[in-house]
Structure 1
Amino acid sequence: MDGFPMDYEMFDLGNFRLQGGATIRGARLAYKTYGELNAEKSNAIVYPTWYSGRHWDNEWLIGEGKALDPSKYFIIVPNMIGNGLSSSASNTPAPYNAGSFPNITFYDQVEAQHQLVSGKFGIETLALVTGWSMGAGQTYQWAVSYPDMVQRALPFCGSAKTSEHNFVFLEGVKAALQADAAFKNGCYTEQPTRGLRAVGRVYAGWGFSQAFYWDRVYEKMGFSARLGVDLAYSSLEDFLVGYWEGHFLGQRDANDLLTQLWTWQHGDVGATPGFDGDHIKALQSIKAKLIALPARKDLYFCPEDEEYASQYIPNGEVRVIPGVWGHFAGSGDNPVDAAYIDSVAKELLER
């Protein structure tokens, strides 16, 4: 899409065959790096993007004095296939353009990223893989796909397998978008803005907790390191329009959102080749020191789910992000939650 900052590089994946059997010809992976790779190639961190996010949305966790310090580590932020920068419905030529873009699994995402990490940079070990939401799903996938490569993993506000409850929530997001007559079964010539606004409204009831709304935190959200602005809204309606509708209207393509949504809905490390759909067996294969960071009031990545999964991870542990921000505790928009995530990342990297 037009208007994206050109502060990233492209890695040529060639004819990239997907787990579902389709091949994206001339596939490309957009990425940005921070810091320098050391001579031993032992200081690399992979930090994938999240649903509707791009690499710059991850930068709140990167910086001098933070856990992801570019003076110490070589941080690679790959943009998910389907997010509008890497190969996506919005930038792929026919016949896989628009609504015909193929389905992408978390396994596919990580295979593309592994080609970048190992093929371009010659990296054989990763000090850490981390990510929020769908980035957490990719973190788990990295730990399962390449257990001898990933030393540490910090998935926050995400899961190794998408729950049925989460699947249903996303059905609401999808239905809101596709109900717009302008969507035209994915063959639109202009973005279906009514549908995109509706997606924001649906998401608003899930992204933050009940307590967030009880306390009207939206009136005093404070400075967002991710967005670089003070977030404070004068009313509930102002919040729904300004924060939520504005997010999905901000250079997001409807078909790209649906591509990423399918990936999320079908997230399951058990689908990794060799595990025959057994996600418990896949979790048991993880060798990384892993700390899962669910948020206490996340409405769709519940702490209970991560506590259940953690019992099968040999070096697994769960810490719970406190507070009322729910899923968006992992967004970087709340300084308190951002500091908590950063502190746990520092602790993990010191192990």
Structure 2
Amino acid sequence: MDYEIFDLGDVTLQSGVTLPGAFLAYKTYGTLNEKKDNVIVYPTAFGDQHVQNEWLIGNGMALDPQKYFIIVPNLLGNGLSSSPSNTPPPFDGGNFPQVTIFDNVTFQHRLVTEKFGIQKIALVVGWSMGGIQAFQWGASYPDMVERIAPFSGVAKTWPHTFVVLDGLKAALMAAVGFDSSKRNQLTSADMRAVGRVYAGWGLSQAFYREELYRELGYESLEVFVAGVWEDSFMKMDPHNVLAMLWTGQNADISANPAYKGDFDEALKSIKALACVMPGSTDLFCTADDNNYEAKLIPNAVLTPIESIWGHFAGRGINTADNTFIDNNLKRLLALRTNR
């Protein structure tokens, strides 16, 4: 096991349900300094675990473990933190309660403060649903978070994004005839169709037109779709996926008692220096949506990743995109804050 567990105890979720014996899986990189002010929080995205974040961590990079103490908390539902696949009855499988982005960040805040005694965070960074968590950190703890850098992620699930995620959910639920009472009959094999659906959204039209999958070693479109999308999704537990899809579909940094659904107010309340990096060809976390959000954040710059890798411009696969993100993080971390 290359990660640690933070026991949350019995937690009451935003839904009002109490999840007994909840826990966060997390991994740290680097050393916390004496002043406890070299902290970077880097939450995971939908379907990812901490290992998938490691491409952005390394000596000489912006997220340098020789300089920073980097905490990667795993999203609830991802199979390592409390999830349908590792929770005992009565909350196992399809009975797992609904968990929000706000819940996740609240628990991460407990980890940071209770476990490590940290009061200031230099940066919260994240891709996709990790990006939503970065926005949520900025809105929930404006005086604590000095910088945020969401990439290929939005501050709420806009209607089109909701529909895309609903398509993934429908592809899975079709396996049990859309009968929610039969959810516990779902198996990982039923995830094959979900991978096929996501293949059309994760990458751009230009990526496919230019056959960039050949650069990854796949000689045909069919081999690429089966070898990447089907295989990666069929490794996932279907109930974990449904739990994370619910979290994603209902994500909104203002859906909490502090902002009572006032999305614009939540954005305006973020005090952190913000570098918002949408993928220029992202089909469902769009640059347009990020542009709306960045205009309302007082100290934000919008810096699109000019790439035909779509949503996956932020996935750590394409060298040019990786360098662009790393360079922007270096610039952001070099900026002095007045707090």
- Aligned to 1:317, the other structure's residue is in SS state strand
2:258 and 2:58 mapped to 1: Cα distance?
38
Instruction: Answer yes or no: is 1:198 the counterpart of 2:183.
Output: no
Cα-to-partner distance string for 1:96-116 (whole Å, 9 max, x where unaligned): 111110111110000110110
Q: Is the 8 A contact 1:296 1:320 kept in 2?
A: yes
Task: For 1:118 and 1:106, locate their aligned partners in 2 and report how far apart those are by CA, in whole Å.
Answer: 18
- The AA in structure 2 aligned to 1:186 is R
Aligned residue number for residue 132 of structure 1: 127
CA contact 2:176–2:183 (8 Å) conserved in 1? no
Letter in 1 for 2:108: Q
| Residue 184 of structure 1, CA deviation | 6.9
Deviation, 1:310, is 1.1
Who is 1:82 aligned against?
Answer: 77
In structure 2, what is the Cα distance between the partners aligned to 1:92 and 1:49? 20
Structure 1 contact 180–192 (Cα < 8 Å) conserved: no
The amino acid of 2:220's aligned partner reads S
The Cα shift of 1:12 comes to 0.3
Find the partner of 1:318 among 261, 278, 302.
302
Partner of 1:3: none
Partners of 1:178 and 1:185 within 8 A in 2: no
Match of 2:256 in 1: 272
Match of 2:334 in 1: 350
Aligned Cα root-mean-square deviation (Å): 1.2
CA distance in 2, matches of 1:346, 1:166: 30
Do structure 1's residue 185 and structure 2's residue 182 form an aligned pair? yes
Matches within 5 A, 1:218-233: 218-220=213-215, 231-233=216-218
The whole-number CA distance in structure 1 between the counterparts of 2:307 and 2:49 is 26
TM-score, scaled to structure 1: 0.93
CA distance in 1, matches of 2:11, 2:246: 18
Partner of 1:247: 232
Map of 2:275 onto structure 1: 291
Counterpart CA distance in 1 for 2:250 and 2:332 is: 29
Hey, what's the Cα distance between the residues in 2 that align with 1:181 and 1:96? 20
> Which amino acid in the other structure matches residue 183 of structure 2?
G
| SS of structure 2 residue aligned to 1:179 | helix
What do residues 80-135 of structure 1 show as CA deviations (whole Å, max 9, x unaligned)?
01100000011111111111101111100001101100000000000000000000
Task: Give structure 1 regions of 4+ aligned residues with deviation exceeding 4 angstroms.
Answer: none
> Using the alignment, how far apart are the partners of 1:163 and 1:292 within structure 2?
16
For the residue of structure 2 that corresponds to 1:268, the secondary structure is coil
Out of 44, 50, 53, the position equivalent to 2:45 is 50
Cα distance in 1, alignment partners of residues 193 and 173 from structure 2: 10
1:316 deviates by 1.1
2:113 counterpart (114, 118, 132): 118
3-state DSSP class of the match of 1:271?
A: coil
Distance 2:241 2:182 in 1: 14
The equivalences for 1:322-341 within 5 A come to: 322-341=306-325
> Once the 2 structures are TM-superposed, how far is the Cα of residue 179 of structure 1 from its aligned partner?
1.3
Query: What do the CA deviations read for 1:229-265 (whole angstroms, capped 9, x no partner)?
Result: xx32110000001110111122x11010011111111
Report what 2:93 is aligned to. Answer: 98
Give 1:238's aligned residue: 223
Stretches of structure 1 lacking an aligned partner (at least 5 in a row): 1-5, 221-230
Q: Does 1:152 align with 2:147?
A: yes
Q: What stretches of structure 2 of length at least 5 have no aligned partner? A: none
Q: CA deviation at 1:324?
A: 0.4
* Displacement after TM superposition at 1:273 (Å): 1.6
Say yes or no: does 1:260 pair with 2:244.
yes
- C-alpha separation between the residues in 2 aligned to 1:323 and 1:52? 23
CA–CA separation in structure 2 for the residues paired with 1:48 and 1:244: 23
Post-superposition shift, 1:149? 0.5
1:185 is displaced (CA, Å) by 2.4
Which one of 60, 81, 102 corresponds to residue 65 of structure 1?
A: 60
> How many aligned residue pairs are there?
333
Contact 1:177/1:199 (<8 A) preserved = yes
What's the counterpart of residue 21 of structure 1? 16
Identity of aligned residues (%): 53
Aligned AA for 2:117? G
